[in-house]
Amino acid sequence: MRCWVSFLAVLLVAVLMLSVPWARAVSPEEASAAVADAEQSLHIAFRTASDAEGAGANVSALMERLNQAGDALTEAGVALAAGNYSDAVEKAGASRGLADGVSGDAGVLKSDAVSRASGWWVTVSFSVVDAAAFVVVLFLVWRGLRRGYEGKVIESRPEVVS
């Protein structure tokens, strides 16, 4: 019986050792590639946010998130230079995640701004057409009332008896 307990204890320890994920070492090439990818994502996010701002969107919240992504990228570069490759990959991943989120949100803001701008032009054009129609109708009503008034004035003119 004692043999079985020892066997089960060894088996339990072996299973626990195999179930624990082993830390994976990160090579310098992987770390520098992750930092380069994060930098590329940050450039794309900045361009997208700039395009959204050009379309008339309010991008102040996006710029704050871009600053956070830039800070994370800077920390990744410092970690890469110090030889802490796993930390560099982690910080680069955080930077890339923030930058990708900014890119998506900037695209949505840009499309909203463009649709609002086109909606504004539609509103203005309908307002101009409506104003012109109102002026035409007002002129026609005024002309009709004037003719009627002139007719009544002419009919009520006193005749001169000599």
Nearest to 76 by CA among 94, 86, 66, 91: 91
- What does the pLDDT read at residue 17? 62
pLDDT digits (tens, 9 = 90+) for 92-135: 999 999 999 999 999 998 888 888 877 667 777 888 888 999 99
Residue 8: pLDDT over 80: no
Q: pTM, whole model, 2 decimals?
A: 0.61
Delimit the domains of the chain by residue range: 23-116
pLDDT over 80 at 157, yes or no:
no
83 conformational bin, left if phi > 0, alpha if psi -120 to 50, beta if neither:
left
Share of the chain above pLDDT 70, in %: 81
